[in-house]
Amino acid sequence: PAKDDFSAAMMVEERDHMLESFEYPSASGMVAELYAFSWHYADVVLRPDMLNLARLIIGEAQRLPDIGRAYQASGPDRVLAGMIAYLERQGAAGRLVFDDAELAAEDLWGLILSAPRNRALHIPDAVPDRTTIERYIRNGLRVFLRAYSTAPDKDLAALSSLTPPPATETE
């Protein structure tokens, strides 16, 4: 029962907020949606409470593997599934090209924030500022678009026109 309660208590609202950019497409287009997702993701996973939760899960995963599985299934796996579905829709619309949507989604995820998040997980006072987050997101999206976009020049120009969202209340 504790495992089920834990799974149910996961940050469902935050996970769903991350995926809103993909579930409710905007008139701004794919690049703006990828950019918005990247910022939603950063704003959630770099919060001190979420970093502490991730550290706790990692620390207890060996002793309580069901806790790690529940967290993975209710959070990261669900986000990944949403990313895959979105990328598949973009592929079907002719905006992206890839052989494996899961690998493309994993590439996107890794490119936009992996390094600063890993650093923040291991060094609690190393949470990046908004300028650093923007640097990583923008670079990650440039690499992703060069690799997967069917119109990289157009999409890179669209990316360059986007501005970061305002800081959240917790920053």
Q: pLDDT tens across 113-136, in order?
A: 999 999 999 998 989 999 999 999
| Sign of the Cα pseudo-torsion (80, 85, 89, 92, in order) | positive
Global pTM value: 0.86
Return the structure tokens found at 3: 């495992």
CA nearest neighbour of 83 among 20, 146, 5, 159: 20
First to last CA, the chain: 35
Query: What's residue 98's pLDDT?
Result: 98
Residue 54 corresponds to which tokens in the numbers above?
């991730």
